[in-house]
Each structure stands twice: as structure tokens, then as C-alpha cells.
Amino acid sequence: MAELLEGIRVLELAQGVAGPHAGKLLAEYGADVLKVEPPGGDESRAAGPFKGDIPHPETSALFLNLNRNKRSITLSLETEEGRAIFLRLAAEADVVIENFRPGQLAACGIGYDVLSRERPDLVLASITPFGQTGPWRDYRGSEITLQAVGGPLHSNGTPTREPAKLGGSIAHYHCGVAVAFAIVLARLRVEQGGSGDWIDQAVYEAQAGFRDRRAIGLTAAGYAGMSSHRQRPASRAAVGVRPAIDGHVNILGGGSRHFGALLDLIGRPDLKEHPDFGKLVVGYSPAYAEQVEGSYIAWLFETPKKEAVAQAQARGILGGAILSVADLLSDEHYRGRGAFEAIDHPVAGEAEYAGRQLLLSETPRPPARRAPLLGEHNDEVYFDRLGYDGAALARLRGRGVI
């Protein structure tokens, strides 16, 4: 059976994380994604971490992860000729993804008005830090700054220190999923006879609608006139992250409906008899909280992290271990489910990648294709599709167009 998004043709001008992540999801589930890179390559080719820590445009882990299943050509949109070539490619595309500054595409003469004139069914997805409109539209943004102003960063970390960002490029990965969702919706409408659209995705608004506490916190701020903030670990008893013998665990004990089960597990059923037992943690007397916490910590000091979690789960208690990537790669659950995928690459070599998000009962998954080399598909696109000959291609290269 055909892949979910088979037949959708995507031009990916976007660089970095958010746009390429949208393109990655579309490509992974069957769309034909052609990456149009500037002659110097997508900025994520320079981001690393690199194979052997030696910077090389073909071995950046960020690029390799984000660009599987795509093809790559080089094309400079800073040249008149380059823009003319782009318009020929766009005429045969269903979707264009870009992340230039607001107004830059239009200033180059290839904005939504131009692209949609002949093609009202085109879907243009534009990704910017703050959106195409509004007083901050021209402001710069990056992962940490957009988490800071848009997301729940203020409540991450400990109250005696500075707030902490979420890991990696999570705001931009998340934004990329929102864009991929919007693109598929727009294609659904087009394929049913409706119109295309210009999707204006601000990373900032993806963060403000983020369901990692932000959207709930904004609702609660309207209800209670208060903001959430960083919580002291000490305000808890047998809840949250605590050290085990070989690392850390995060088990939901004190104050929860499974608290009694946890007290049984750690050999302190007597603490169920205390008058504070049924209360919320904020209602525990300091003495009770100290007894609970002390007994719990003592038990954890004798228990390996995954074992502690397995014992808690066996009693219905919610929780997990704090694992590192090395832990994941040797974990029998993830290995057994095939969560990683070995992919070979002519420069980076063979390595295991994080695999699929979805297991589809009726749509078998083809093996993943590695990320393309910079301009790897120039020949097939410029010769076969656009009809250039070798001499014409050499002239384009000489003028810095490709």
C-alpha cells in the first residue's frame, strides 16, 4: 500500500531545524522532498556535533538527523537566474517551506502573491521567530531566546538559580511538527478541491501554545492572576527526581493515590498510619515529610535506577528512570521494538539513528534513506528535469548560481 503522503511534492528552502524537521516528517511518511540549499549548504551542516569532532558539511549530526529521505540541489536565490530557476521548480511543487526573514521572499519577487497567482492550490509555509506581522516581526530569535519569551522556561530549574532551557532544539523541533501538521491539513483541503494557503508559523506562537505547561499556565494565569514558577525540590516528599545507587529516578510517591503502595515497597507501611498520610504534600508536617523522604532516600541508595522503577511499576506507581543516551542504546525495550535504525552514509559511515515515530498497521515502512550530500541531486534535477546541458550547468556554477 502507498505511503501516507505519497505524491506530495515539497520544495524545502528552509534551513536550520524547524523547517527541515517539517520536511523530514513529510519525507519520512512518503512525500517527495527536494531540499534547495544555498551553495554553502544548509546552516545545520555547520552545527555539529561532527563525526570525530572534525567539522565537515557532510557529517553534522544535526543535519544528518533532520534530512533523511530527502534529495538536495544547490541554488542561490540571491541571483536573478537562481530565482528564475526556483520559479520553474515551484511551478511543479505542491508545497514550499521557507524560513527567510519576513518580507524577504516577497522582496526577491518570489513571495506568496507571485507563487500563488498561477497556483492557488500551492501551500507556502513560512517559519519565522515572531511571525510575518506585528511589532516584533523583524526581531531575531534562537532556540534559547524563543523558549525564554514564548515557552515555560521561566519555571524550569531551581528557584535559587537561573531558569534553564529545555534540551536540544526542542522549540524548533516542536514548531516543525506544527508546520508539518498544517501542511498536511492544507493538502487535504486542496485534494478535496479547496484552496491552498500561506501558513504563517511563528516559533514564538508554537511556544505560547505549547502543551508543556505553557498553555495551561496561561489559562491558570487568567483564572488565578498568578504565574507558575520554579519549585523547590525540598517542598516535596518522595516525589520528583532523587538519586538511586547508579543514577537517578523520578517516581510519583508522596501525596499521590499510590503513596501507600510506595510506603509498602520501601518497607515503611507504618507511615500509612500517620494523620498526614492522606494529605497533599503541601499539607505534610515537616516531621512527617522528613520521615517519608528519609526512608525513601535510604531505600533508593540500595536500589539501581531501572530496578527501582520496575518495582514501583509492578505496584502501579507512576515513574521513570533518568537515562542517558548510552542507556537507551542498550535498553532491551527500545532495542526490541526497533526504535533505532542503522543507516549508512558515504562520508559519515554507518550509524544508528533515532527511528520512526509511528507504527502503521496497513502501511509498511520502507527503509530510511540517508541524508543527501550537498547538491547530490543537481545532475538529476538540472539535466533530467530542467533540461540544462553540461556546458550550461558549468556556466551556472561559474556564476555562483548553483
Partner 1 sequence: MSDATRPQRDASHRLPLEGVRVAEITVVWAGPHVTQLLAEWGADVIRVEPVNAIQPYSRYPERIMDEAASRALAATGYTLAAYPDFQAGADPWNRNPSFNSHARNKRSMACNVRTSAGREAFLRLIRHVDVLVENNVPLTIERSGITYDVLREVNPRLIMLRMPAYGLDGPYKNYRGFGTHVEGMIGHHLIRTYDDGTPDEMGDTYTADALAGVMGAFAVASALRSRERTGFGQQIEMPLAEAFLPALGEYILDYTMNGRDSVQEGNTHRSHAPHGIYPAAGEDQWVALDIATDDEFAAFCRATDAEALLGDVRFASADARWTYRKALDAAVSSVTQRFDKEALFHTLQAAGVCTAPVHDDLDCTRSPQLAARGFFEELTIEGVGTHRYPGIMTKWTNTPNWIRTPPPRVGEHSEAIYIDLLGYSRVEYEALIAQGEVGTTYPPDVLARGVG
Closer by beta carbon to partner 1, 90 or else 402: 90
In the bound complex, what is the minimum distance in angstroms from residue 85's beta carbon to partner 1? 26
Neighbours of 48 (CB within 10 A): 16
Note whether 330 binds partner 1 by CB under 8 A: no
Q: Which of 286, 359, 367, 398 binds partner 1 (CB under 8 A)?
A: 359
Q: Using the rule CB under 8 A, is 69 a contact of partner 1?
A: no
**Looking only at residues 79 through 118 of this chain, which bind partner 1 when binding is defined by CB under 8 A?**
112
What is the Cα gyration radius of the chain? 26
- Determine which residue in the list 307, 340, 373, 400 makes contact with partner 1, applying CB under 8 A: 340
Alpha-carbon separation of residue 14 from 210, 233, 358 (angstroms): 22, 41, 24
CA dihedral 295, 299, 300, 301 (to 10 degrees): 100
The full DSSP string for 112-130 is HHHHHHS-TT-EEEEEESS
Distance of closest approach, residue 257 Cβ to partner 1, in angstroms: 6
Shortest reach from residue 27's CB to partner 1, in Å = 12
Q: Which of 106, 353, 373, 383 binds partner 1 (CB under 8 A)?
A: 353
The span from the CA of 334 to the CA of 337, in Å, is: 5
Residues 6+ apart with CB under 8 A from 83: 77, 108, 109, 110
CB of 88 to partner 1, least distance (A): 24
Q: CB 188 → partner 1: shortest distance, Å?
A: 5
Q: Which helix (H) or strand (E) holds 273?
A: none
| DSSP letter, residue 60 | B
Residue closer to partner 1 (CB basis): 128 or 378: 128
C-alpha cell at 210: 505549547
DSSP code at position 385: I
Q: Is residue 308 within 8 Å of 249, Cβ to Cβ?
A: yes
Binding residue for partner 1 (CB under 8 A) from 35, 45, 187, 370?
A: 187
Closest CA to 354 of 341, 337, 369, 335: 341
Contact stretch for partner 1 (CB under 8 A) within 33-41, 99-107, 175-183, 381-389: 175-183
Q: Does 182 bind partner 1 (CB under 8 A)?
A: yes
The DSSP 8-state label assigned to residue 381 in this structure reads I
Question: In the bound complex, what is the minimum distance in angstroms from residue 38's beta carbon to partner 1?
Answer: 18
Q: Outline where DSSP puts E strands in 59-118.
A: 71-74, 95-98
**How many chain residues interact with partner 1 (CB under 8 A)?**
167
Tell me which of 87, 108, 114, 322 binds partner 1, using CB under 8 A: 322
- C-alpha angle with apex 269: 263 to 273, nearest 5 degrees? 110
Three-state secondary-structure class, residue 398: helix
C-alpha cell at 156: 524550569
Among 40, 109, 243, 390, binds partner 1 (CB under 8 A): 243
Residue 378 C-beta: closest distance to partner 1, Å? 26
Q: For residues 349 and 64, is the Cβ–Cβ distance under 8 A? A: no
Q: Which of 104, 108, 119, 256 binds partner 1 (CB under 8 A)?
A: 256
Residues of this chain, 129-158, that bind partner 1 according to CB under 8 A: 130-136, 139-150, 152-158
Query: CB of 73: closest distance to partner 1 in angstroms?
Result: 24
Cα 104 to Cα 108: distance, rounded to the nearest angstrom = 6
Is residue 220 a contact residue for partner 1 (CB under 8 A)? yes
Measure the CA–CA gap between 284 and 323, rounded to whole angstroms.
Answer: 30
Options 75-83, 178-186, 378-386, 393-401: segment touching partner 1 (CB under 8 A): 178-186
Under the criterion CB under 8 A, does residue 9 sit at the interface with partner 1?
A: no
Q: Using the rule CB under 8 A, which residue among 78, 80, 246, 352 binds partner 1?
A: 352
Stretch 20-59: interaction string toward partner 1, x if CB under 8 A: -x---x---x-----------------xxx-xxx-----x
